[in-house]
């Protein structure tokens, strides 16, 4: 006898929502029943899961009755509106928004880094920001070998980070420019096609934007190191899907490239991608649609004897969002931390 669960996807028609649907299928998550939820404007849309089509429902007060697991990816406002109600109804919520990430009572989890944090959940588990997840998967294995004093990271973030409509906008802008027309902006503040700009989230008094501070604060929480020194510069680039990051690490003592390669070659969720003769390293085009974080161009920092440089690319929609959430759900199943009050048994 195996256990299966009643699952709801909140934000089912978005870029991450549709990826969640595909991953539940391809990874054979034990789904007894599946409920697809979204705003009223998406109600009635039909999405395929396995061999059946399921109609999307408008989320309401009864949506979470008899649900064991809610995978939420509908934005912070929506999560704040519905998460508590879902938990009260007996469900565990894995939330992909920023709503609960820095709440001291809510675990913030990257399964390759801090799976033990799942045991402390009180109904809600937060999925970290996409750039934080990708960096954590690559950096944590090195941190376990030798303490890191400082992280300096620059991100190259694709349109997918702003959702499906942003991806469509990038395509439309590219077409317009190639046809000699003026590109139109709606999702982004400036044209992204054939352009790039610093991340446009709100700035704080120190000049760091919200996206950059997410990387700082979330990494500290996930690693369990409150005073870890991190500086981030986040940039939006004209890539459709998959983010890249240039990371500089400062250790207490020199960390050899050979040792880093050895560690990362065995690290869960990491795939080394290096061909120095061909000058071929991780690229968004190679990471798109794939689960691993591609890591390469690992080299000694010539400006610091204890410095190490690396480069990565990872699919923002997949490992940076949907896959991490499903992996958390799988972790809960493995540890019997899901659906304790409304478990469905099936043969």
Please check whether residue 199 is in contact with residue 212, taking contact to mean a CB–CB distance below 8 angstroms: yes
DSSP bridge partners of 245: 155, 312
* Alpha-helical runs (H) found in the chain: 15-26, 76-88, 130-145, 164-178, 210-223, 257-265, 284-287, 323-334
Q: Is 41 annotated as a binding residue?
A: yes
136-173 burial code (b ≥16 CB/10 A, e <16): bbbbbbbbeebebeebbbebbbbbbbbbbebbebbeeb
Write down the catalytic residue from 209, 234, 243, 347.
Answer: 243
**CA-based angle 32:98:208, to the nearest 5?**
155
Q: Is 316 annotated as a binding residue?
A: yes
Q: Is 157 annotated as a binding residue?
A: yes
Q: Is 42 annotated as a binding residue?
A: yes
CA dist 294 to 42, 153, 311, Å?
35, 16, 8
Tallying the residues shown for the chain, one arrives at 347
Q: Is 236 annotated as a binding residue?
A: yes
Report the alpha-carbon distance of residue 13 to residue 111 in Å, rounded. Answer: 25
Report how far Cα 46 is from the mean position of its chain's Cα atoms: 25
Q: With both helix axes pointing from N to C terminus, report the angle between 130-145 and 257-265 in degrees, rounded to the nearest 10.
A: 120
Please check whether residue 340 is in contact with residue 3, taking contact to mean a CB–CB distance below 8 angstroms: no
Q: Is 16 annotated as a binding residue?
A: yes
Write down the catalytic residue from 121, 130, 199, 234.
Answer: 130
Phi and psi angles of residue 62, each rounded to the nearest 5 degrees, phi first: -100, 0
Q: Is 163 annotated as a binding residue?
A: no
- Per DSSP, the residues of 313-333 read EE-TTIIIIIHHHHHHHHHHH
Q: Is 183 annotated as a binding residue?
A: yes
Active site residue 130: yes
Active site residue 243: yes
Three-class DSSP category at 99? coil
Provide the annotated binding site for NADP(+): 13-16, 41-42, 160-161, 183, 316
Provide the annotated binding site for phosphate: 101
Provide the annotated binding site: 13-16, 41-42, 101, 157, 160-161, 183, 236, 316
- Residues serving a catalytic function are 130, 243
């Amino acid at each position: 006898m195996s256990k299966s669960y009643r699952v709801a996807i909140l934000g089912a028609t978005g870029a991450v929502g549709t990826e969640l649907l595909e991953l539940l299928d391809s990874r054979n998550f034990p789904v007894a029943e599946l409920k697809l939820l979204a705003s009223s404007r998406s109600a009635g849309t039909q999405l395929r899961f396995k061999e059946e089509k399921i109609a999307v429902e408008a989320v309401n007060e009864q949506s979470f009755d008899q649900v064991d697991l809610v995978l939420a990816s509908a934005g912070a406002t929506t999560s704040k509106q519905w998460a508590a109600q879902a938990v009260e109804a007996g469900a565990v919520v894995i939330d992909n928004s920023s709503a609960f990430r820095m709440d001291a009572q809510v675990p913030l989890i990257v399964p390759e880094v801090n799976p033990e944090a799942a045991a402390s959940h009180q109904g809600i588990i937060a999925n970290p920001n996409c750039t934080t997840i990708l960096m954590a998967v690559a950096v944590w294995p090195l941190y376990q070998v030798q303490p890191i004093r400082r992280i300096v990271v620059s991100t190259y973030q694709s349109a997918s980070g702003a959702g499906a409509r942003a991806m469509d906008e990038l395509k439309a802008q590219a077409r317009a420019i190639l046809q000699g027309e003026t590109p139109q902006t709606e999702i982004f503040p400036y044209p992204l096609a054939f352009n790039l700009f610093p991340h446009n989230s709100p700035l704080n008094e120190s000049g760091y934007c919200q996206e950059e501070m997410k990387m700082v604060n979330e990494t500290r929480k996930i690693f369990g190191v409150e005073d870890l020194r991190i500086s981030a510069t986040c940039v939006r680039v004209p890539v459709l899907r998959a983010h890249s990051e240039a990371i500089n690490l400062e250790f207490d003592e020199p960390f050899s490239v050979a040792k880093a390669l050895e560690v990362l070659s065995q690290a869960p969720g990491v795939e080394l991608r290096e061909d120095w003769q061909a000058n071929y390293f991780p690229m968004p085009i190679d990471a798109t649609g794939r689960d691993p974080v591609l890591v390469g161009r690992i080299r000694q920092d010539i400006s610091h004897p204890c410095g190490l440089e690396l480069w990565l690319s990872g699919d923002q929609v997949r490992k940076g969002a949907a896959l991490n959430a499903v992996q958390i759900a799988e972790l809960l199943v493995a540890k019997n931390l899901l659906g304790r009050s409304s478990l469905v048994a099936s043969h």
